[in-house]
Structure 1
Amino acid sequence: MTSAAYRETSAPDAVRARVGAFLFMAMFLFLWVSITPYVDLTGEAILDPSAGNSNRLNQILALLLSAGILGYGLLHPMRDIILQPRLLLAILCFWFLLVSLISAHPMLGIKGIVLSTMMTVNASIYLLLPASERHFAKMLGIGTLIMLAFAYYGILFKPTLAIHQASELREPMNAGLWRGHFPHKNSAASAMVLAAFFGLFVASAWSRMAGLTIFVLSFLFLVNTGGKTSTAMLPAILVLGWLFEKMRPLRALIVIGGVGLFNLFAVGSAVFRPLGEFISGLGIDATFTNRSDIWRFAFSALAERPLTGYGFRAFWQTEELVYSGGSVETWAVAAANGHNSYLDIALTTGFPGLLLTLIWVVLLPLRDISRLASDRENAPLTRLYVRIWLYTIFHAGLETLFFEGGSFVWFTFVFALYGLHLQSSAVVAQGAVPENRKRVAHA
C-alpha cells in the first residue's frame, strides 16, 4: 500500500523520500553490521566485566542517527504515533527509573533507560521512513543482502575473526561455529532467523529472486552457527505463525499459554526438580545448554527483592557480583545475563516492571492484531510483523532481549510492535487519506 503523501512527486516530497531512505539504510547497517565488525574474542579484555563495549565514534554516530530520525519523525504528518502508547511507556519508564535510583548502581540504570528510550523512539519512527510498502521491502532486502555479504566475507576471508576459535578465552568450546561479523554465534543465529523472515517478505513484496536468495543464505549460515535453539525456532515460528493466522479464536491461548508453558518448561525445570526430571525423560536437555544454574541463582536472588528488584541493568556483571567469591558455589555469578528476558526484567525491576513489560510486548500486540481488517490479516506485511513478534517473545524465554539499547533484535522487535499497531489502524491509500484516518499501512 502506498502512502498518499508520496503519490505526488513534488520537490519537498522527493527530498523527504531520499532523506527517509538514507536514514533507514544508515540505521539498519549501524545495527546489523556496526562500525566494529569482526570482534577479536581472544583478548583478555573480553573477560573484564567493567570493560565497555562501546567507543566514542559509536556513541557519536548513534546520537547523530537518533537526532536525524527524531527530526524526520517530528516533521512527518504521522508524528502522533511516536513513542506510543505514551501513558504506559511513561509509567514503565518511571518505574524503571525509580527502582534504579534506589539500587546500588543508579547510573547503570539511568544509562540503560536513556539508551532503551532512544532505541524505542527510533523504532517508532523507523516505519515512517519508507515511501511505500514496496519501498520498505526493497530497502529491507538491500540492507539484509549487505549484512549477509559481511557475514560470508568474514567466513571466507577473515575466518579467525568470523568463526569461533579454540583460543577464545570465554567460550573455547564454540570453536568451529560461525559468527560472521557478529560478536557471538547466538547473536548471529538470531540475525539469520530474522533475515529469513525478511527474505520471505521481500519475495512477496519486492523481488522473488532477492527474497529467496536472502532466505537460503540466511538458513545456510544459521545451520553453521550451531545455534540449536534458533535453528529449531525458525521452522517452529513459521508453523506457529500459520496456526496463529488461521486459528483466530485461539490466538490468545497460543501466545499467552505458549509463552507461559515455554517458560515453565525452561525455567521451571531448573527450579523444580521433578519437572526437570520429567523433561529429561522426554529426551530434552533439561539444563537448556547450562542455563539451569543461572536460573536457579537468579530465582534465589529474586526471592530477596521481588517488588523492586536490583535496579535496571544493575545485577549481572556488576563487580561486586562477579568478584564476590560466589563462584565457589556457582559459576552463574559470572554470567553476562540471565538468559531469560522475563526473569531478567523481574530480577532488575521487580514483578511490577515485569507486568508493565508484558502489557506492552504481549497484550497490546494481541489487541492490535484482533483489530486488523479482514483484508489485512493475511497481508505479507502483517505476516512479517507477526513472525518477528512471535519469534522474539518465545526466544526471550532463552535469551535476554528486552530493552537492550544497542540490539538489532530489540530494535526489530519494537518496530514490529509499531507495525502491528499501524496495520490495525491503517487505511488503503487510494486518492486522498481521510482527515480522520491519517495512518497508512505501508509501514
Structure 2
Amino acid sequence: MRLLPVSSAADYAVRAETRSGDKHDISRDIPDGLRMALGGACLLAFWNHTPLTDLSDPGHLDAWESGNTTTQVLFIGLALAMGWALRRLGIERLRPLLAWPLIACAGWLGATLLTSADPLLSMRRAVLLAIVAMLAAGVLVLMRSVRQFALTMGGAALILVGSSYLAVALVPNLAIHNAFDLLNEPEHNGLWRGIFAHKNEAGGVMAMLVIAGLFAAGAGERILGWTVAIGAGVFLAATMSKTSIMLLPMVLGATSLCRFVTGPLARAAILLGPVLLLSVATLGSAFVPAIQETVGRVLPDTSFTGRTEIWDFAADKIAERPITGWGYGAFWRTERTMYGGAAENSWVNTADHGHNAFLDTALVTGLPGLALTLIAFALMPLRDLNRAAPSTRIDPATMLFLRLWMFGLTAASFESTLYSPNSPPWCLFILAVFGLRLRARHRTIAG
C-alpha cells in the first residue's frame, strides 16, 4: 500500500472514481466547462450579486423585512443547478462536513428560529443561509482539481476587478461615493466602491481577491493570479477601507508564519491571538474603561467611528434575551430598531448590523449560540489545519482556505462576517471552513 498526497477534496474524489473503474460513475461525470461555469457563477454571486447599487435611491432607507427579490431568484437558481450537480456527482461527497460542531450550530440555529421575535422572517432568511452553505460546499466538490479551482476563482476575481475599474471610469456616480449618497458619511466622498454598495464592502472583497490572486499564482496560474492580486491591491488602496487595509497584511503575515511553525499551540497563538487582541481592543474599549484608556494611547480614534453606540445598544438587547436571542435576521433593519430601538436620528436606527460578528451572534442566537459558533468556526478549523498540514509544507489550496478563514475571523471584530449570507466575507469564510474540513479528512489516501 502506498500513500498519495492530495491537494484538495476534489482530487481525492476524482482519483477514487478512477481506481474504482465503475462505468456508471464515469457516465455521471460533468464536463469541465460546466463545472467551471457553475463554480464561477457561485463565486461571483458570493462576492457581488447586486452590482452598481444606486445609493441615491430612497428605497435604501426602508426596512429590509421583505428581502431582495433579485437575490432570492439568483440564489434559488444557483441552488437548483448545484443540487443537480451534487446529485449527479454523489451527495455522499459532503459526508465529511457532518462534523458535530457544525451540526450543533445548525441545530441550535434551527431551534432559535422557533423562539425568534419574528419566526417567519427568521425562517425565510435562514433559507438563504442554508443555500449559501450548500453552494459553498458544492463548489469544493464540483472542482475537478486544484488547478481548475485556481483558474475558476482567478477568472471570477478578474471579472470583478475589471468591472470595478470600468465602473469607476464609465459610471463614476455609481462607483465613487458622492454627496448624493443617502447613507454616506461626508468624509467618504471621492472614495472608490466600484460595483459594490459601499467602500468598506469593496475593500473587504478586494482584500479577499488579493488572497485569491495569490492562490491562483501559487497553483500555476501565475499571470492571471498576479494580475488579480495587483489590480485588487491598488483598488483596495483607493477605497481607503481602513479595516481591510490593516487586516490584509496581518493575515498574510500570520498565515505565512505557519509554514515555519508546526506546533498546534504555536499556530493557535499566531492565528487566534490577533483575533483575541482585536476583540479586546474593540468591544473591550467600549465596556471596560481601563482598556479604553490603553487603546486610546495607541489609536487616535477610540470610538471606532461611533460603533460603540451600536455595541452598547446591542449589549443591552442581549441582556434581555441571553439564551435564545432575538432570532436570526429578526433584529437589525427591522421595525424594532428603525422606529423603536433608539433615539430619533441615531445611527442605530439605520444600522445594517452590529459591526461586530461575535456580538451579533449572541444577539440573534443567544450566548449558547455564540459558544457553539466559536467551537465550530474558530477551534475546529484550527484543528483541521493541523491535520491537513502538520508539517511546514502547506499547499496552495490549504493556504487559500487558511487565509480566507483568518480574514473572516479578524474582520469579525469590526463587521458582522458570521451568518450573513448577503455578506461576501461570510460566503468565502464558510467555503474556507468547509475547505479546511475536507482537506483534513482527505490529506492522504490509500492507493
The match for 1:441 is none
- Between the two proteins, the alignment pairs up a number of residues equal to 429
For residues 398 and 323 of structure 2, what CA distance do their matches in structure 1 show?
37
Alpha-carbon distance, 1:377 to partner: 4.0
Structure-2 change in CA distance of 1:83 and 1:67 (3 Å): farther
The match for 1:130 is 143
For residues 382 and 390 of structure 2, what CA distance do their matches in structure 1 show?
15
The match for 1:116 is 129
Alpha-carbon distance, 1:185 to partner: 0.9
The match for 2:220 is 206
Tell me if structure 2 keeps the 8 A contact 1:100–1:314.
no
The match for 2:327 is 311
Matched residue type, 1:411: C
Per-residue displacement from partner, 1:51-82 (whole Å, max 9, x unpaired)?
75512x54233112112212212332573425
Q: 2:337 aligns with which of 321, 325, 335?
A: 321
The match for 1:227 is 241
Per-residue displacement from partner, 1:279-323 (whole Å, max 9, x unpaired)?
111234211122111111111221222222111122211213211
**Larger relative CO (CA 8 A, sep 6+): 1 or 2?**
2
For residues 54 and 230 of structure 1, what CA distance do their matches in structure 2 show?
26
CA-atom RMSD, angstroms?
Answer: 2.4
Alpha-carbon distance, 1:18 to partner: 3.3
> 1:15-414 counterparts in 2 under 5 A?
15-34=30-49, 36-50=50-64, 52=66, 54-55=68-69, 57-77=70-90, 79-81=92-94, 84-85=97-98, 87-173=100-186, 174-249=188-263, 250-324=266-340, 326-328=342-344, 330-374=346-390, 377-414=393-430
Alpha-carbon distance, 1:349 to partner: 0.9
For residues 341 and 104 of structure 2, what CA distance do their matches in structure 1 show?
37
Matched residue type, 2:32: A
Q: Secondary structure at the match of 1:313?
A: coil
Matched residue type, 2:239: T
Q: Which runs of 5+ in 2 are unaligned?
A: 1-6
Structure-2 change in CA distance of 1:185 and 1:82 (3 Å): farther
Alpha-carbon distance, 1:328 to partner: 4.6
Q: 2:432 aligns with which of 395, 402, 416?
A: 416
Alpha-carbon distance, 1:100 to partner: 3.0
Per-residue displacement from partner, 1:23-55 (whole Å, max 9, x unpaired)?
112212233342x41110011111112475512
For residues 222 and 316 of structure 2, what CA distance do their matches in structure 1 show?
51
- Does 208-217 or 278-287 show the bigger shift? 278-287
Tell me if structure 1 keeps the 8 A contact 2:29–2:89.
no
Q: Which runs of 5+ in 1 are unaligned?
A: 435-443
Alpha-carbon distance, 1:13 to partner: 6.5
Q: Secondary structure at the match of 1:385?
A: helix
Tell me if structure 1 keeps the 8 A contact 2:324–2:364.
yes
Structure-2 change in CA distance of 1:159 and 1:131 (3 Å): same
- Does 67-76 or 139-148 show the bigger shift? 67-76
Per-residue displacement from partner, 1:191-242 (whole Å, max 9, x unpaired)?
1011000111111112212111111100110011110110111111111112
Alpha-carbon distance, 1:137 to partner: 0.7
The match for 1:437 is none
Alpha-carbon distance, 1:104 to partner: 2.2
For residues 140 and 278 of structure 2, what CA distance do their matches in structure 1 show?
31
- Does 94-103 or 358-367 show the bigger shift? 94-103
Alpha-carbon distance, 1:278 to partner: 1.7
Alpha-carbon distance, 1:362 to partner: 0.7
Alpha-carbon distance, 1:145 to partner: 0.6
- Does 186-195 or 316-325 show the bigger shift? 316-325
Matched residue type, 1:205: A
For residues 304 and 334 of structure 1, what CA distance do their matches in structure 2 show?
21
Structure-2 change in CA distance of 1:137 and 1:104 (3 Å): same
Tell me if structure 1 keeps the 8 A contact 2:388–2:443.
no
Structure-2 change in CA distance of 1:12 and 1:167 (3 Å): same
Tell me if structure 2 keeps the 8 A contact 1:152–1:180.
yes
For residues 389 and 225 of structure 2, what CA distance do their matches in structure 1 show?
26
Tell me if structure 1 keeps the 8 A contact 2:65–2:121.
no
Tell me if structure 2 keeps the 8 A contact 1:201–1:380.
yes
Matched residue type, 1:59: Q
For residues 415 and 189 of structure 1, what CA distance do their matches in structure 2 show?
19
Tell me if structure 2 keeps the 8 A contact 1:73–1:125.
yes
- Does 385-394 or 295-304 show the bigger shift? 295-304
Tell me if structure 2 keeps the 8 A contact 1:338–1:400.
yes
For residues 172 and 193 of structure 1, what CA distance do their matches in structure 2 show?
22
Q: What is the TM-score with the length of structure 2 in the denominator?
A: 0.89
Alpha-carbon distance, 1:385 to partner: 1.0
Alpha-carbon distance, 1:122 to partner: 1.4
What is the percentage of aligned positions where both structures have the same residue? 33
Q: Secondary structure at the match of 1:403?
A: coil
Q: What is the TM-score with the length of structure 1 in the denominator?
A: 0.90
For residues 133 and 180 of structure 1, what CA distance do their matches in structure 2 show?
29
Tell me if structure 2 keeps the 8 A contact 1:39–1:161.
yes
Structure-2 change in CA distance of 1:268 and 1:333 (3 Å): farther
Matched residue type, 1:18: G
Alpha-carbon distance, 1:258 to partner: 3.0
Tell me if structure 2 keeps the 8 A contact 1:83–1:120.
no
For residues 350 and 125 of structure 1, what CA distance do their matches in structure 2 show?
29
For residues 390 and 298 of structure 2, what CA distance do their matches in structure 1 show?
40
Tell me if structure 1 keeps the 8 A contact 2:65–2:333.
no
